[in-house]
Structure 1
């Protein structure tokens, strides 16, 4: 962990505990903290929450090893710390409907795909990304209005769209998928200026709009805990729109159905054409600069069955399509299942399965074909790779989970000539 952040947690905890005014002696408890390793701090955590402040520290460690595929067998272990503070300003200051949120992340360790030379389109190692740095990922004000029908957010954050949970190790099934294949969509842990608004016409429907500053300087390691980049450079704006329906079928089967679209105003080079709209591999000219790019996505998650005692089967499906003129991977699709409480004696375990398909755009394929022709190279063109993952998450103790995983990636990089990759993994998750 970055040594500059090590003193932060003890100081914050000391200040927070002094603020509780001997909460432990009052023996106040809250069941919300029963799934944390450190519990309720003898009641201090509950009193902090009652005064408007919630804190959490999460840790994730992912160990991966490939036994086939790539250039060599290799092992990699990466981890992440995430320290969050959530302040209810209504409780603290009487500012009705307002809250403030801060989240600091720290990532460490190597990436398996690079070490083993797997050549995948999307990473097998989801926790790795954007370098080994401490970052201010979120720092924003939230304001709820009209009985929470309208929620506004303003400040710095990762892109607050495509809310897919991260319960797999392969990144094809984890987090904000458009950010992994669309240029200018910066996902966790990158924070940037943003503003969005969510309107809920009913309890089960919503429409959300938002805009994020696209500033490549936010990717740099020395950005760290800064609120601003040195020159506040701006390449453009990423605008998002999302609509959702959150039904409860048959009175007990939760669902979530979402569609979204985005437009990126950043100039990006065309993958195939030059400024005269002729193929670059043929003319050798400068690439045509596209003044914008667009994309869309659809998400579905539905509980299919539950026995009323915690055991349930849930299915999910995702499709994300970006601009084939500028994005090498223009489509990411996945489908999968979660079985919660698979055994009566293991009520907090979860079994997961997912299969996906990541596609190289037709423009990128054509550009490579023309390059091969011009150089006399004979080789198959990239098309699609197919990742599959099966995992089982064990609830080891309060706030501690261990998840063995097996991944199989067919045609890494979308290339038929690449050997399939078999990746074994172990994920440790802890909530303090």
Structure 2
């Protein structure tokens, strides 16, 4: 009897250890399928278990301006990105603490500057200066089961603020940070490709239906006089940039279009967010009409995104939409408001379950001060239709067609048609 008890205990312990090992294995990312370079002979898995995660992505865009704008032409743009995440709880026992960094290299043509001349831009990986630099490098500490989060370091506001998740499919820049914010400031706010020294606080309600977050950053990211490499400096005249956002994100649920009593065999993709935000610079800015400097450079914005429906048999597929609108001080900015509307469909074509189709339009309105000083058009409007074909889990091809009307709100420029494609590889 004693031997039987010992045998049962040994078997139970073995089963428990086996179950734990299987659970840990199930939690690991599937690098063999999802990346070109795989698990590096098990090194990635070993690092991940210790709290270190590495990711590498390359994007190559080939674009052609076939009509209008500044001139016709074809160009290539490239963006390579390395991401580093360190879970200090696993590494050193520091509960809820992580370090995250992004380093990127950007090469290629200044396509919008050379061929189109638009106010909003054409490609979200186009940069003013070809260089390699740290985009983000910060430490984050979470409290109370992740309901309070504090972040400090080199940070970019467009990773969390004023960006609907559903707009990320598009190539045009205004579907990242909206133009009425992106245009503001000296060297712009802390958005791609430049982060800035910052602190950020985020709070979530107990049910995680509501959130509030705010960030304070250096008013001038990088060094406007030298755009090469990573530059972190705090000059007396920089001032600060403040942004705050309050949002409602109800819990995700099984789509109502599923048959009664049916169990979803796929993870449901659901988008449901409504938010309002406010931003302000503390420094002085030159007036658009040359009448001196102004202290006021601020704005407010609204975001809404929704899943309109999920496919009955495939709840991970379906149609979602986003709407975004924001205003900015017209005395110091070219655009005094902008608005975006877009649709995104995952799995539009049968058998292409991971492909995503998108259709969007953005309008930037010229402020009264700018129009009077420049005799400009009243607005610039950009349209984009795109289709991201997921060829393999780690390789995607994404053709795009764009129409840019009234480029840079310049009455002398013709509407531009741009076609091209993005090629993206996850290493």
Q: TM-score, normalised by structure 2?
A: 0.83
- Aligned residue number for residue 13 of structure 2: none
2:373 pairs with 367, 373, 376, which one?
367
Query: Is residue 356 of structure 2 the alignment partner of residue 350 of structure 1?
Result: yes
Q: Is the 8 A contact 2:164 2:304 kept in 1?
A: no
- Aligned residue number for residue 293 of structure 1: 297
The 1-side partners of 2:417 and 2:395 are apart by 27
The 2-side partners of 1:299 and 1:87 are apart by 31
The 2-side partners of 1:155 and 1:85 are apart by 14
Distance 1:248 1:329, change over 3 A: same
2:125 pairs with 121, 124, 127, which one?
127
The 2-side partners of 1:65 and 1:36 are apart by 29
2:138 pairs with 140, 149, 152, which one?
140
Pairing 1:213-228 to 2, within 5 Å after superposition: 213-215=218-220, 217-221=222-226, 224-226=229-231, 228=232
What is the CA deviation profile of residues 241-300 of structure 1, one whole-angstrom value per residue up to 9, with x for unaligned ones?
10111124664443121211011012101123xxxxxxx5xxxxxx32112311111111
Distance 1:330 1:394, change over 3 A: same
Query: Is residue 154 of structure 2 the alignment partner of residue 161 of structure 1?
Result: no
Q: TM-score, normalised by structure 1?
A: 0.82
1:402 pairs with 397, 403, 406, which one?
397
- Aligned residue number for residue 98 of structure 2: 99
Secondary structure at the aligned position of 1:218 is classed as coil
- Aligned residue number for residue 327 of structure 2: 321
Pairing 1:31-430 to 2, within 5 Å after superposition: 31-33=29-31, 34-116=33-115, 118-159=116-157, 160-165=160-165, 166-175=168-177, 177-183=179-185, 184-201=188-205, 202-215=207-220, 217-221=222-226, 224-226=229-231, 228-229=232-233, 232=235, 234-248=237-251, 251-252=254-255, 253-272=270-289, 287-307=291-311, 308-309=313-314, 310-369=316-375, 381-430=376-425
Q: Is the 8 A contact 1:181 1:322 kept in 2?
A: no
Distance 1:130 1:113, change over 3 A: closer
The 2-side partners of 1:109 and 1:260 are apart by 34
More deviation, 261-270/239-248: 239-248
Distance 1:267 1:32, change over 3 A: farther
Secondary structure at the aligned position of 1:96 is classed as coil
Q: Is the 8 A contact 2:98 2:139 kept in 1?
A: yes
Secondary structure at the aligned position of 2:381 is classed as strand
More deviation, 35-44/61-70: 35-44
The number of equivalent residue pairs is 379
Cα offset for 1:222? Answer: 5.6
Cα offset for 1:39? Answer: 2.8
The 2-side partners of 1:254 and 1:70 are apart by 36
Cα offset for 1:301? Answer: 1.3
Instruction: Kindly report the root-mean-square deviation, in angstroms, between the aligned alpha carbons of the 2 structures.
Output: 2.1
The 1-side partners of 2:320 and 2:333 are apart by 32
The 2-side partners of 1:64 and 1:221 are apart by 28
More deviation, 79-88/249-258: 249-258
Distance 1:216 1:153, change over 3 A: closer
Q: Which runs of 5+ in 1 are unaligned?
A: 1-26, 273-279, 281-286, 370-380
Cα offset for 1:71? Answer: 3.2
Cα offset for 1:194? Answer: 0.1
Distance 1:193 1:266, change over 3 A: same
More deviation, 92-101/42-51: 42-51
Cα offset for 1:178? Answer: 4.4
Distance 1:256 1:32, change over 3 A: farther
What is the CA deviation profile of residues 59-103 of structure 1, one whole-angstrom value per residue up to 9, with x for unaligned ones?
111111011112321112111111110000011000001000111
The 1-side partners of 2:101 and 2:237 are apart by 23
Cα offset for 1:57? Answer: 0.6
The 1-side partners of 2:225 and 2:161 are apart by 23
Cα offset for 1:114? Answer: 2.0
